[in-house]
Amino acid sequence: MKFNKLNIIVFIGLLAIVGVLTMQLVMLNQAYMFEKKELGEKIHFALQDVVKKIYRDNKSEPPAASPIKKVSEDYYVVDVQDDFEAEILEFYLKTEFQKVKLDMDYEYAMYDCSSDEMVYGEYVTMSGKTASSEKMQCENCFTKRPGLVYYFAVRFPQLRHSYINSLQQYWIYTGVLLLVLVIYVYSVFLLLKQKKYTELQKDFINNMTHEFKTPLSSILIASNYAVKQHEIEANPKLNKYLRIIIEQSNKLNQHVERILSVAKTDSNIITLEKKRFNIVDTLELVKENALLKFEQASVKIVSDKPEYFVKADEFHFYNIAYNIVENAVKYGNVSPEVVVLITENKGLDLQFSDNGPGIPQEHIDYVFDRFYRVPRENAKDVEGFGIGLFYVKKICELHGWKASIKNNAGQGMTVTLHIPKKSMA
């Protein structure tokens, strides 16, 4: 796998999220262990106080060793080694558990010497009230302990559930992090998939346009040679057809060049050869070439000075200026007029205004997008790929310029290229 910037960023982001999630799980485990230890200590201290009070009532000394034995996580056996009554035991259990704020259900049972078995006591809810007889009981959960006589057992059936409830905030944080991780991974897969499709699209465009160049060149060479032959010049109909072939081949060649330029711009392999030149001269050249192609058009250049020098790529500047003028003429009315106004405004503003129908307001924000074409009634007469203004925007961005478009108040629209002072020479 090739490690480019995107792959490195994705890998680092994935490591960061996995690291945060791991830390959260570690914290969750630590909080679980702490909660488990805290509840265990509460139960132990409460049962210890119960034993002390039983010995105090019997006016005897409590044993030196701890009488409390933890059989399992939720089951405790207390060896009192002295006589006690069931009512007193239940009262002491409720009192001591409330004292340490042990808010959970519990049930207890006592050993009966006469029957030699554990006798079930009561099921007490977290509110401290004895549950009704319909409450689920577990007499079989209390097993007899060999070697003990005066003892009782306490069981906490909701202990594990209490752990989970007490860590509710941690569970929410962990769930949010898991959701973020899933969204991130899904987004990465979509991004990589889209990147793959984009690369395939670029390869297809590059291969397609390069494959078009060779046959187009051959057609143009053969057509230009044929149109100069005496037999063709003598036959008006054949001459007309050959000139149509030449004209359409040149048009197709221009489209191919534009697609190649856009592909290069997207791939960031286009290089700008900046030099100092007079943009008025270049605009005059654009005007001349546009009038050669569109004889019915009118192109005017309005400037306060005959020279405005900028430092830029003259080849690409000519292309974007010609694209704007060509669009204004192609999508204009029967007698298209284009006025190029050059003004100084914290740099230079080149305003290309026309007298065409303009662009519907709902489409004007998208005309600089790649392959976007404004729906028109005469679309079949002015076919294009929707890359002309996209190319204009890209070249302006590479130069650090700004391109904008708006409809005129009366008729037509205006495309403005703002060239900052730093580009002026």
Q: Looking at residue 132, what is its pLDDT? A: 46
Quickly count: other Cβ atoms within 10 Å of residue 137's Cβ: 16
Nearest to 86 by CA among 109, 55, 65: 109
C-alpha 9: how far from chain center:
14
Q: Which of the given ranges, 5-19, 141-155, 310-324, has the highest pLDDT on average?
A: 310-324
Q: Looking at residue 380, what is its pLDDT? A: 47
Q: Which of the given ranges, 18-22, 199-203, 241-245, 300-304, has the highest pLDDT on average?
A: 300-304
Domain extents in the chain:
7-166, 193-266, 274-423
Q: Which of the given ranges, 27-31, 303-307, 332-336, has the highest pLDDT on average?
A: 303-307
Per-residue DSSP letter, 149: S
Mark 216-249 as b/e (b = at least 16 C-beta within 10 Å). Answer: beebbeebeeebeeeebeeeeeebeebeebbeeb
User: Which residues have CB under 8 Å from 369's CB, separation 6+?
Assistant: 386, 390
Pinpoint the alpha helices (H) of 100-167. Answer: 159-166
Q: What are the E-state strand segments in 215-293?
A: 274-278
Q: Looking at residue 25, what is its pLDDT? A: 82
Average pLDDT over residues 25-43: 84
Q: Looking at residue 140, what is its pLDDT? A: 62
Quickly count: other Cβ atoms within 10 Å of residue 44's Cβ: 15
Checking DSSP bridges between strand 68-72 and strand 402-407, what pairing results, if any?
A: unpaired
Q: Looking at residue 406, what is its pLDDT? A: 92
282: pLDDT strictly greater than 90: yes
Query: With the C-alpha atoms ordered 199, 201, 204, 206, is the resulting torsion angle positive or negative?
Result: negative
Q: Looking at residue 229, what is its pLDDT? A: 87
The more confidently predicted of residues 3 and 202 is 202
CA distance linking residue 215 with residue 249, whole number of Å: 10
The more confidently predicted of residues 23 and 370 is 23
pLDDT single digits (tens) 44-68: 999 999 888 888 888 888 777 888 8
User: Which residues have CB under 8 Å from 271's CB, separation 6+?
Assistant: none
3-state helix, strand, coil in the chain (%, to 5): 55, 20, 30
Average pLDDT over residues 291-309: 88
pTM over 0.75: no
Quickly count: other Cβ atoms within 10 Å of residue 130's Cβ: 13
CA distance linking residue 59 with residue 280, whole number of Å: 115
Half-sphere exposure of 86 (CA within 13 A, CB side): 11
388: pLDDT strictly greater than 80: no
CA distance linking residue 244 with residue 219, whole number of Å: 12
Q: Looking at residue 350, what is its pLDDT? A: 94
The more confidently predicted of residues 256 and 365 is 365
Q: Looking at residue 87, what is its pLDDT? A: 84
What is the SS3 assignment for 70? strand
Gyration radius of the chain over CA positions: 44
CA distance linking residue 157 with residue 135, whole number of Å: 12
Q: Looking at residue 196, what is its pLDDT? A: 80
Query: With the C-alpha atoms ordered 300, 301, 306, 309, is the resulting torsion angle positive or negative?
Result: negative
Q: Looking at residue 139, what is its pLDDT? A: 53
Average pLDDT, the chain: 81
CA distance linking residue 124 with residue 151, whole number of Å: 19
What is the SS3 assignment for 407? strand
Fold exhibited by the domain 274-423: Heat Shock Protein 90 (3.30.565)
